Amino acid sequence: MKIAVIGAGTIGLSWATLFAAHGHDVRISDPRPDLAEALGELIGRVHIAESVTEAVRDADVVQENGPERVEFKRDLFARLVAEAPEHALLFSSSSAIPSSEFTRDIDASRVLIGHPFNPPHVMPLVEVVPNPRTKEETIGKAVEFYRSLGRVPVVERKEVPGFVGNRLQNALQREAIHLVQEGVVDPAGLDEVVLNSLGLRWAAVGPFLGSHLGGGPGGYRHLTTHIGASMHRMTLGRPDPSPEATERVIEAVEKAYGGREYTDLAADRDRRQFAILAARQQGDEE
């Protein structure tokens, strides 16, 4: 397939890596002056387009990864609808903005959100979020396309800002910030708590199945009936959004992890995530 990647930031480059690894003809467009340098080893497998028009001219799929601004995406998708072939699927990697917010004045029938978790060449999830005018045919083709890349597409039938994954992530992050601000734990300690409990469990089962199993033979009903009331009495914190309080959290995170280069930390993360995925696959096969 011919795939246009619009935007060569962290997400766009990761998508390009995945598309190229599956043998697709990938063209990437971004105004950044160091695009060739940013592509690195992808040069030769991914072609630089001089413009958005050139990138999408013959595309079967367009994956947009531009700034998280409604105005930018509104202008860009108007161009994509006008300039990409009529059969082309138009996907946005938007992290929080539903596509109905930037497609009000254009044909949105082949537009939807294809939101990955970073980095998409490692993480399997793709949230497939149609807008009310997206054709069912487009949804089906999106699911088929992402599955062909070894991803796990999950169709979400109602638009909400942030979709599902980022809303869950934001809820946990808010409480994490609150706990650090209150001096309950430092950032490294909180990460250890998650790594050795929730993160480990959720890598094997999701929150609902984990709770269902936590209820023993009585399942989720037993858990909710016997423990639910005490859990509901727990009041979650509200992090202090002031610049001073935010700066203290930033400094605490930098103290915990600022001694290592970003590339080293990211490489360790990806290595561990690949190992977890391999272990899950082995567990599924046994």
Same-domain status, 150 and 13: yes
pLDDT digits (tens, 9 = 90+) for 158-189: 999 999 999 999 999 999 999 999 999 999 99
Same-domain status, 125 and 172: no
| pLDDT at residue 7 is higher than 80 | yes
Residue 22 lies in a domain: yes
Contact 92, 114 (CB under 8 A): yes
pLDDT digits (tens, 9 = 90+) for 233-277: 888 999 999 999 999 999 999 999 998 999 999 999 999 999 999
Query: Which contacts (CB < 8 Å, 24+ apart) does range 71-76 have?
Result: 73/97, 73/102, 74/102, 74/103, 74/104, 74/105, 76/6, 76/52
* Residue reference for tokens 């991803």: 151
Enumerate residues 6+ apart whose C-beta is below 8 A from 12. 5, 6, 28, 30, 63, 65, 93
Same-domain status, 136 and 185: no
Same-domain status, 184 and 143: no
Residue 91 lies in a domain: yes
pLDDT at 162: 97
Torsion of CA 118, 206, 168, 132, to 10 degrees: 80
Q: What is the mean pLDDT of residues 203-220?
A: 94
Instruction: Give counts: helices (H), strands (E), the chain.
Output: 13, 8
Total number of domains constituting the chain: 2
Residue 234 lies in a domain: no
Residue 104 lies in a domain: yes
| pLDDT at residue 210 is higher than 80 | yes
Single out the residue in 155, 184, 218 at which a domain terminates: 155
The residues annotated with a catalytic role in the active site are 127
Residue 209 lies in a domain: no
pTM of this prediction? 0.92
Residue 76 lies in a domain: yes
Structural domain containing residue 75: 2-155
pLDDT at 127: 98
| pLDDT at residue 50 is higher than 80 | yes
